[in-house]
Amino acid sequence: MDATQAGRRVRAVVFDLDGVLLDSEGAWLQVRRDYARSLGCVWTDADHAASMGSNLEGGSRIMVERLRLQRSPEQVAQDLLERMRQFYVERVAACAGAVDAVRRMAASFRLGLATGSPAALAEPALRRLGLLDHFAACVYGDQVMHGKPSPEIYLKTVAALGVEPTQAVGVEDSANGLRALHAAGLGAVARVDPAFPPTPDALALADVQLQHLDALDAAVIQRAAAARASQTRAGRV
């Protein structure tokens, strides 16, 4: 089977949430900065980039380690959860083009969600935006042991969808997310946000790069899968 044939076998598309479907990365940055400031610390852009894509526990562990906090990652996670809850339930907006992109993909593929955000934040936001029912499987950050860049969440999502990793393509924005996709064996579409770009080494793992979800269609998904299949055959994974 050549790369083109492999691309035609795509059965599922798996979306990340924050920075792909929800315009929430800026809020996470501000909340972490405010939280760090309340503890007499400074949370930098580099700190935030290191935590993007990870689940709440993993991101909180990064925060404890980088800021040398005298509190547990579990306590930090709970503090951040409470600070973000109202934003997700009442105010978070969809990224430009996200709602239409999900609807287009649902017309051709089974959809999965693989997000580092806990269900308590993600589900109310998705429900309010009318997106939740489009997903055949959702795996949240509090349902995995290891957050991105571990491939665990993507492997768990494709298993719930009943497809092989080679039959799925993921859409990600963060360096950790792209690394997780690559490690799991899915094709990778990078939605590149100029405000929060992934590192060049992680972006190089993407099979297709987009700046706007308006450009996401079935042809892009097939192209990503074919590129991933070609890399696999060439032994470059």
Residues 6+ apart with CB under 8 A from 227: 3, 187, 207, 208
Q: Is 79 a catalytic residue?
A: no
Q: How far apart are CA 17 and CA 56, in angstroms?
A: 13
Query: Within 13 A of 24's CA, how many CA atoms are on the CB side?
Result: 28
CA-nearest of 39, 71, 70, 35 to 51 is 35
Q: Which two tokens stand for residue 74?
A: 């579990």
Helices and strands (DSSP H and E) totals, the chain: 11, 6
| Beta partners for residue 190, in sequence order | 172, 209
Q: How far apart are CA 198 and CA 178, in angstroms?
A: 8
Q: What is the DSSP string of 98-154?
A: HHHHHHHHHTTSEEEEE-SS-HHHHHHHHHHTT-GGG-SEEE-GGG-SS-TTSSHHH
Q: Which two tokens stand for residue 204?
A: 């190089």
Indicate which residue of 2, 16, 47, 133 is catalytic. 16
Q: What amino acid positions are annotated as catalytic residues? A: 16
